[in-house]
Chain A
Amino acid sequence: QSALTQPASVSGSPGQSITISCTGTSSDIGSHYLVSWYQHHPGKAPKLILYEAYKRPSGVSSRFSGSKSGNAASLTIYGLQAEDEADYFCCSFARGSTPWLFGGGTKVTVL
């Protein structure tokens, strides 16, 4: 099983929207909606921002939105803010020897 594929970096200006993709296969993302997204500021504990592809945990800003189509999931950040500058990674349940696969992470830069 391979890791999920994410772009290495995405950037945007304050107020803009950005989208991060997470591509898997029919054995993981393509077979269910069990995709989650995390925000990770270096040196801190990662924070769950979306689960089951598009659901937001309590307390997470509505500026974070998720979707899924086929073998890929996406995270969109609306109204980009300086505090959104962080690494973002996806995770998917997988049918195989490894129950959970992660993406390589995407560094978001706010210009």
Chain B
Amino acid sequence: EVQLEESGGGLVKPGGSLRLSCAASGFIFDIASLNWVRQAPGKGMAWIARIKGKNDGGTIDYAAPVQGRFTIWRDDSKNTLYLQMNSLKTEDTAVYYCITTLFSPNSFDAWGQGTMVAVSS
């Protein structure tokens, strides 16, 4: 069974940092392209970062709102995806999901349940 489980969310003050983790199982992790997306309260989903698998060179991309503040990386030996979030802003408040493509091309057929990040003073 495919599973993605996010953790690490919580309440943090503006300017603070947080590290999210996404533990994966049930699929070949090291070749999977992995993404972080988020959903702010009352808003739609927004893509924020991607790291490709080893066969694609592990290329990394970020959305403009998080470029320079967030860092995505993966530990293939632990089947875990990470997102380091620095210089957090109130507008980063959202539920964060890790997602990937497994069987259905050009879509995301594996999602975690998400972890909530609240940035507030």
Interface residues of chain A, those whose CB is within 8 Å of chain B, are 3, 6, 34, 36, 38, 43-48, 51-52, 55, 57-58, 89, 91, 93, 97-105
Contact = CB atoms under 8 A, between A and B. Distances in A.
Nearest to B44: A104
Interface in B36-62: 37, 43-47, 50, 61
A102 B114 contact: no
Contacts of A97: 63-64
Given A99-B50, A102-B37, A55 B104 contact: yes
Contacts of B105: 51-52
Chain B at the A interface: mostly helix, strand, loop or mixed? loop
Given A97-B63, A98-B63, A102-B37, A36 B106 contact: yes
Interface string B80-115: 000000000000000001000001111111011110
B63 A48 contact: no
B43 A52 contact: no
A91 B47 CA distance: 10
